[in-house]
DNA sequence: CCAAAATATGTGCATATGCATCTATTGTCA
DNA sequence: TGACAATAGATGCATATGCACATATTTTGG
């Protein structure tokens, strides 16, 4: 009994791996002035154009209030704007600013370096497979399956 | 081009999956008064007996200061104690209290329910494989491999 | 033995995350 | 149309996470 047996908790395993990988990515990204989560937000906004907050939150599997909080520093730093949707004044449209686009461009090299380090250690093929698995878990269909037949 | 292509970012994929699974576990665990991370801490302390903070942090892949913060609510609620190590007064020994042991016991059923829901949706075999993969990523060896040949 | 390096932790600040609750708009239907 | 349900966010609070920096002990070299 030399080493401690690993935890059987799926959440604990996910958290531990996420912390380790966060440390790698955030360390490399630090020079660009963006955190991993912040970059993920900007990337989705750029891809989508002008998503609503709800749309953004769903895409990132983030609680709407968590997204709201996460957007604050980005808006404060002028990387994106949040404006009322004229067609539905309950909604807010999120858009990148020039500054936001520029920051995203600047972070690209660092992100690539982090990707390379991870995939050099873990394998590019394995990484692609893992991402697919994780996307499945993150998907709404999975959520419904996990909550669909509550054993309570 | 009906649906958005998935992100190629390994960190983003991990975070999204972790958020989804956190929501599942924390929702089920809510009745027990413990969060997923808190339970992971208590479980490790119970298994180890009286780990130092550094040992605990390393085991959970947590920054030492993050662990310090995380322990505060648990100590405040009387679930564990933090005492100075008489053999090395720089160190602190973390121990479960009776109350902490009891709380852990009480949370067991809820945790099992969360595990069941996850593995019913994802597959028990797949879950075991995924945990093994994630433990590898979380391991120190992996960290060293990813940082061993810095391209900087 | 003592000063400097090394080790283990504590604090303050900023972001990350989600719950409960509140406000603002829009949609519904008697 | 007017009350009420539904939708979209916004806020305050608590925990989660890590960095920079400060403090306390121990170890080490001369």
B64-99 per-position pLDDT tens digit: 999 999 999 999 999 999 999 999 999 999 999 999
Residue A83: beta bridge partners?
A93
Direct distance between the N- and C-terminal alpha carbons of chain B, in angstroms, rounded to an integer: 38
Q: Beta-carbon neighbour count of residue A133 at 10 Å?
A: 17
Does residue A23 carry a pLDDT above 60?
yes
Phi and psi at residue B137, to the nearest 5°: -60, -40
Interface test with A, best of B4, B5, B20, B66 (most A CBs within 10 A): B20
- Residue B95's region, left for phi above 0, alpha for psi from -120 to 50, else beta, is beta
CA distance B12 to chain A (A): 7
CA distance B152 to B145: 15
Nucleotide nearest to A63 (CA to C1'): C18
Task: Provide the pLDDT for residue B152.
Answer: 33
Helix (H) / strand (E) element for A120: namely helix A98-122
A94-141 per-position pLDDT tens digit: 999 999 999 999 999 999 999 999 999 999 999 999 999 999 999 967
Confidence grade of residue B147 (pLDDT, cut at 50, 70, 90)? low
Question: Domain B15-146 adopts which CATH fold?
Answer: Arc Repressor Mutant, subunit A (1.10.10)
Annotate B61-72 with b (16+ C-beta within 10 A) or e (fewer): bbeeeebeebbe
Average pLDDT, chain A: 91
Does residue B144 carry a pLDDT above 80?
no
B100-137 per-position pLDDT tens digit: 999 999 999 999 999 999 999 999 999 999 999 999 99
Confidence grade of residue A143 (pLDDT, cut at 50, 70, 90)? low
Distance A44 CA to C1 C1' (A): 63
- Residue B61's region, left for phi above 0, alpha for psi from -120 to 50, else beta, is left
A52-98 per-position pLDDT tens digit: 999 999 999 999 999 999 999 999 999 999 999 999 999 999 999 99
CA distance B59 to A131: 24
Residues lining strand C, beta carbon within 7 angstroms: A 35, 37-38, 61-63, 65-66, 69-70, 73, 76, 88-90; B 15, 19, 22-23, 26-27, 52-54, 57, 64-65, 68-69, 82, 88, 90-92
Whether CB of A26 is under 7 Å from strand D: the answer is yes
Q: Do B138 and A17 make contact, defined as CB atoms within 8 angstroms?
A: yes
Task: Provide the pLDDT for residue A149.
Answer: 40
Does the domain at A34-144 match CATH 3.40.190.80? Answer given as no
3-state secondary structure of A38: helix
Kind of pairing between the strands at B92-96 and B80-84: antiparallel
Chain A residue closest in CA terms to B61: A16
B62-72 per-position pLDDT tens digit: 999 999 999 99
């Amino acid at each position: 009994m030399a080493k401690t047996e690993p935890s059987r908790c799926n959440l604990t395993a996910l958290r531990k791996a996420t912390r380790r990988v966060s440390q790698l990515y955030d360390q490399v990204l630090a020079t660009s002035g963006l955190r991993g989560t912040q970059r993920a937000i900007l990337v989705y906004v750029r891809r989508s154009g002008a998503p609503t907050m709800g749309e953004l939150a769903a895409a990132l599997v983030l609680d709407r209030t968590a997204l709201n909080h996460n957007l604050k520093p980005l808006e404060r730093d002028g990387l994106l704007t949040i404006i009322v949707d004229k067609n539905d004044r309950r909604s807010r449209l999120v858009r990148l600013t020039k500054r936001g686009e520029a920051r995203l461009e600047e972070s690209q090299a660092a992100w690539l370096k982090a990707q390379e380090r991870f995939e050099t250690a873990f394998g590019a093929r394995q990484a692609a497979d893992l991402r697919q698995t994780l996307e499945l878990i993150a998907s709404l269909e999975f959520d419904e399956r996990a909550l669909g037949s509550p054993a309570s």
